[in-house]
């Protein structure tokens, strides 16, 4: 699964554990703190060794320059598969290859700028999770921050329980292969991101440049060749969520300015094939 190696510069999938254990509804979610920092020419991602299964608030703090964007994509594995094996799958340059049956998207925190913090709320089922900072620097053929050392392992223990996600102001729902939205407005939107499809999905929300049309954006996003002229969207203001498996949801935040946005998914089916945007998974939403 190569969530960050996408069109146009590959847009882009915990130092302390507190309040875990017991009844989810009685104690609230586990608080899971992740942090990314730079150490010389390499990067580090810290996480707790263990987390209680069930409802979790996962925060990502990024202590790097504001010019960088980082993510914390969780990957759940089944069986005896190493972090290096999972990273090799995520780092594949081929794209569109089948996903191994032992590897599953586990949510996490989408792309944020250095010097900031973001939090999502989601369920964690028992098992082994690897955390990868799948962000990357500018340029072609640039290794991800995970390939430069920003990885971690978390063992999720206990029983998942039956807690429910908290409420949200708005929703973004991914299906196979389209998006629907409700109540998105200008400003900070606390959203419920639902993946109701059978395939994995994420959301990339990109504002249009002045004068661009949906047809311009769709042609640009689905082109196999180099762009003809400047992009019709502003990549510097793109918002990217983590990748969820079909049937999963999380509470996250999208800070949207007024204007028109394209919603896209660049993930491929588990069986392989083209990115979902090439299968029609691109929609338009006007933010007021």
Residue 56 included in any domain: yes
Residue 14 — pLDDT band, cuts 50, 70, 90?
A: very low
pLDDT greater than 80 at residue 23? no
For 215, residues 6+ apart whose C-beta sits below 8 A from its C-beta are: none
Domain boundary among 103, 134, 157: 157
β-pairing verdict for 69-77 and 127-132? antiparallel
Rg (CA), the chain: 18
- The three-state secondary structure class of 271 is coil
pLDDT exceeds 70 at position 261: yes
pLDDT of residue 6: 39
Nearest to 6 by CA among 284, 283, 278: 278
What φ, ψ does residue 191 adopt, rounded to 5°? -115, 155
Per-residue pLDDT at 21: 39
The yes-or-no verdict on residue 187 having pLDDT over 90 is yes
Say if residue 52's pLDDT is above 60: yes
Q: In which domain, by residue range, is 239 found? A: 170-287
Look at the chain and report how many structural domains it folds into.
Answer: 2
Res 93: pLDDT: 60
Please determine, for residue 16, whether its predicted confidence score (pLDDT) is greater than 90. Answer: no
* Average model confidence (pLDDT) across the chain: 90
Q: Are residues 23 and 139 in the same domain?
A: yes
Structure tokens at 254: 């999208």
CATH number at residue 16: 2.60.40.420
Mean pLDDT in residue range 154-173: 94
């Amino acid at each position: 699964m190569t969530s960050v190696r996408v069109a146009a510069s590959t847009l882009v999938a915990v130092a302390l554990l507190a309040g875990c254990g017991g009844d989810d509804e009685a104690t609230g979610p586990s608080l899971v703190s992740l942090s990314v920092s730079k150490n010389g020419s390499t990067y580090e991602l810290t996480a707790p060794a263990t987390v209680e299964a069930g409802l979790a608030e996962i925060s990502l703090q990024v202590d790097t320059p504001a010019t960088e964007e980082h993510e914390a994509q969780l990957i759940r594995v089944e069986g005896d598969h190493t972090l290096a094996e999972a990273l090799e799958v995520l780092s594949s340059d081929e794209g569109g290859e089948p996903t191994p049956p032992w590897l599953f998207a586990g949510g996490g925190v989408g792309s944020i700028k250095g010097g900031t913090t973001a939090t999502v709320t989601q369920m964690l089922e028992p098992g082994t999770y690897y955390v990868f900072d799948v962000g990357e620097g500018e340029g072609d053929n640039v290794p991800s921050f995970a390939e430069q050392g920003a990885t971690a392992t978390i063992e999720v223990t206990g029983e998942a329980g039956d807690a429910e996600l908290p409420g949200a102001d708005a929703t973004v729902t991914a299906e196979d292969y389209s998006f629907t939205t409700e109540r998105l407005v200008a400003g900070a939107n606390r959203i419920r991101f639902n993946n109701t499809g059978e395939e994995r999905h994420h959301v990339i929300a990109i504002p249009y440049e002045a004068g661009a049309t949906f047809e311009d954006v769709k042609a640009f996003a689905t082109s196999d060749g180099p762009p003809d002229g400047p992009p019709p969207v502003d990549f510097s203001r793109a918002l990217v969520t983590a990748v969820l498996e079909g049937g999963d949801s999380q509470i996250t935040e999208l800070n949207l300015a007024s204007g028109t946005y394209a919603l896209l998914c660049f993930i491929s089916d588990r069986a392989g094939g083209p990115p979902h945007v090439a299968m029609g998974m691109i929609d338009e939403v006007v933010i007021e």
